[in-house]
Structure 1
Amino acid sequence: MTAPTFLHLDNATLGDWLDAGRPLTLVDIRDPASFAAGHLPGSRHLDNAGVPALLAEAPRETPLVVICYHGHSSQQAAAWLAAQGFAEVYSLDGGFTDWQHRHPERVEA
């Protein structure tokens, strides 16, 4: 039996999914001040205190994308969330920093 795992997601694909209106759950695990300063529209801040609400509210069949600063911490969080029963979990490669650099018009505060 293999453990649930996550997939890597590049900026271009996420941009295409957002343009197409694909249902997604976007969670940003950066610190609250960084999230408040800028984040992907439609994303929700996720810290340890918010995990129970996410687990209770987020549909397990909707793809879930985890965003961190540079795409490293999100991998561990994505693996954990996949183990919680989310069917399709992604870690955003390059994280918010790369997204903001490539898509400054798609960042909100």
Structure 2
Amino acid sequence: MSFEHLDLASLAQWRDGEQPFVLLDIRDPLSFTQGRIPGSRHLDNASAGAILEETPRDTPLVVVCYHGHSSQQAAAWLAGQGFEKVYSLDGGFTQYQLTHGDDVESGS
């Protein structure tokens, strides 16, 4: 099982479209609370079980980290859990915030 890369332009198209997908942010809890892509869920050891249980295996998953590196390992792990369509966001949240700074959600 493997994952694919997703660029910011494709993510913007997905967010504007009808196709459901799940955004999983693997950054630390404080960073996630301070700012995230709207609609993201925080994925960590505590939430992984519930997310795996609740999410249909054919739902596309997009994994977000700081710069697009750690998300690749998480995406590979999720693909190994049986998810059919897993993506790592190229550039991560840092690049997203630089290009879409007005579209950042904060709070718990």
Q: TM-score, normalised by structure 1?
A: 0.94
**Pairing partner for 1:61 from 39, 58, 61:** 58
- Aligned equivalents of 2:52 and 2:31: distance in 1? 23
**Pairing partner for 1:36 from 1, 8, 33:** 33
> Where do 4+ consecutive residues of structure 1 move more than 3 Å?
none
Shift of 1:106: 1.7
- 1:15-54 deviations in Å (ceiling 9; x for gaps): 0110113211110000000000000111101111111111
Aligned residue for 2:63, secondary structure, equals strand
- Aligned equivalents of 1:81 and 1:87: distance in 2? 9
Residue of structure 2 equivalent to 1:27: 24
Q: Please show how residues 79-98 of structure 1 align to structure 2 within 5 Å.
A: 79-98=76-95
**Pairing partner for 2:72 from 67, 71, 75:** 75
C-alpha RMSD of the superposition: 0.7
Residue of structure 1 equivalent to 2:2: 5
Structure 2, unpaired ranges of 5+: none
Structure 1, unpaired ranges of 5+: none
Equivalent position amino acid for 1:100 in 2: Q
Aligned residue for 2:50, secondary structure, equals helix
Paired-residue identity, %: 64
Equivalent position amino acid for 2:82 in 1: G
